[in-house]
Amino acid sequence: MPEVIVYAVEGRTPEQKKMLMQKITTAVHESFGTQPDRIVVQIVEAKADNKTRGGVLYSER
């Protein structure tokens, strides 16, 4: 059972997240041959003030 975890800064709509999870499921199904109902996709969201890139908070970008 493949499991894909996506880490992202919060702010996407539920529709955007659903679309991403559906496309990842399709890609894993096509690449691995795993049945879609056996594929787990999870989005882990971080607050923009809890994540940095190059030492700069995402909330300050």
Report the C-alpha gap between 29 and 32 in whole angstroms: 6
> Would you state the structure tokens that stand for residue 49, as one six-digit string?
């003030």
- Which one of the listed residues 2, 9, 21, 34 is annotated catalytic? 2
Q: What is the pLDDT of residues 37-49, one digit of tens each?
A: 999 999 999 999 9
> Would you state the structure tokens that stand for residue 7, as one six-digit string?
């880490």
> Which residues, in sequence order, are bridge partners of residue 40?
3
Q: List, as one string, the DSSP characters of 13-61.
A: -HHHHHHHHHHHHHHHHHHH---GGG-EEEEEEE-GGG-EETTEEGGG-
| All domains in the chain, ordered by first residue | 3-53 (3.30.429.10)
> How confident is residue 54, by pLDDT bands cut at 50, 70 and 90?
very high
| 2: annotated active-site residue | yes
> Which residues, in sequence order, are bridge partners of residue 5?
42
Q: For the whole model, what pTM was predicted?
A: 0.89
Q: What is the pLDDT of residues 20-35, one digit of tens each?
A: 999 999 999 999 999 9
